[in-house]
Structures are given as structure tokens and as C-alpha cells.
Structure 1
């Protein structure tokens, strides 16, 4: 389910004009960035959350203050490993994917969540 959601998210970002640079970037035991993309001269670190419709929690609610801090830390580590920040800086986005029992998935993209 998670991989499918990430595929839908990558497609949505690409359709929005972004370039996906990397998927599932791991930093040792610290964690993983689901998608790293470029939006013009801005580097975008994107967290993807996928849920089935009717689940207890909407995907957008899954990014807590602790999760946001971890994403900022991972973004810094990615930048250190890849030559620093681009001219436009870094932004953290969230893509929430809801999979209904029937019909098309709902994909929501929110910019600058953390």
C-alpha cells in the first residue's frame, strides 16, 4: 500500500512540474525521505502518507511535531551528502493519499508543512 501511495505521489509531483531526484533515500538508522524533488530552484523533501478510506486518521494528520523535526534533520543530512542547499532553499511537503474501497485514489499535496 505504501509503495503504491508513493508512486501516486511521485506522479502528482511530476504533473505539478517538479523533478523527482530520489525516492526512499535512507540515512542509516536515522530514517528515510520518501521523495526528494526539485521545484524550480527549491529542493523539496516530501513525506508521503497513505491510508485506506475510513481509517482512524487522515494521512495529513500523521505529521506530528516530532515527525516534522525528523524530516528537517533528514533534509539537512541529505544536503550535506549532496553538496548543500540550492539557491531557492529547502521546503518540506506532504502528500496524503486516501485509497477508497471503490473508485479512484484521492491525492492531496500540501506545500511547506514543516
Structure 2
């Protein structure tokens, strides 16, 4: 597995564990359709959260959450619409979160959960 894919998978595992500990119910991970992939779909109370996970080893290219650009946000919203179409529920409330993870060697993971990030 390529290093960036392994880093992403490690980050997604850490994010899922963190979210479960924070009380969210994970509905799906790595949900795919022909248009792309959603990292994590979770429920918190009556809200369905579509969660993008970004993981970095350092801050050379900026903070992980900064990689969720406007274009990426638009893509996630479109994917969420597809998921909601496949999983209909009346009056479903949604939000879009970002989990930012920095994995520095010899340090504990730095995890930041940005609820309703966009």
C-alpha cells in the first residue's frame, strides 16, 4: 500500500475511534459511489454527519483541515445528496464535519473535530 494511502487509513481508523468515544454512531466508512467516496458517515442525536478526515505527518503543507477546499466541500455535499437519496428518511438533519489529524513520530496523535465545518 502506498504511504499516503496507509497514512489516510490510519487517520480514518483514529478518527472513527475518536468519534465513537465522543458518542457518535458510525453508520458507514469509506462509502463509495461512482462519483467518489465519503470517509465517515455518523449519527449524533437526530443529525447525520458527513465527516471528511484529513491526516498529515507535519505542517509543511499547512494544517490538515485546510485541505478541505471549497471544491472538496462541493464534492462532499454532492456525495451526501447521493447517500441521502439511497437512504431516505423524512426530515433528516445533516451537517458536514472535518476531523483533522496530525501524526508526528514519537508524539500522541493530535485530533481536532470541527463540527459543522462547512
Same fold (TM over 0.5): yes
After TM superposition, the score normalised by the length of structure 2 is 0.90
Shift of residue 54, structure 1, vs aligned partner:
3.6
Unaligned runs of 5+ in 2: 1-6
Counterpart for residue 22 of structure 1: 28
User: Which residue is equivalent to 2:75?
Assistant: 70
| CA RMSD of superposed structures (Å) | 1.2
- C-alpha distance after superposition, 1:55-103 (max 9, x if no partner): 322101011111111111111100001114654x100000001011221
Match of 2:3 in 1: none
Query: Partner of 1:92 in structure 2?
Result: 96
Count of aligned pairs between the two proteins: 112
Q: Which one has more relative contact order, counting CA pairs under 8 Å at least 6 apart?
A: 1
Relative to structure 1, is the Cα distance of residues 107 and 85 closer, same or farther in structure 2, using a 3 angstrom cutoff?
farther
Unaligned runs of 5+ in 1: none
TM-score by length of 1: 0.93
User: CA separation of 1:94/1:8 partners in 2, compared to 1, >3 Å: closer, same or farther?
Assistant: same
Aligned to 2:46: 41
The counterpart of 1:10, out of the listed 10, 16, 24, is 16
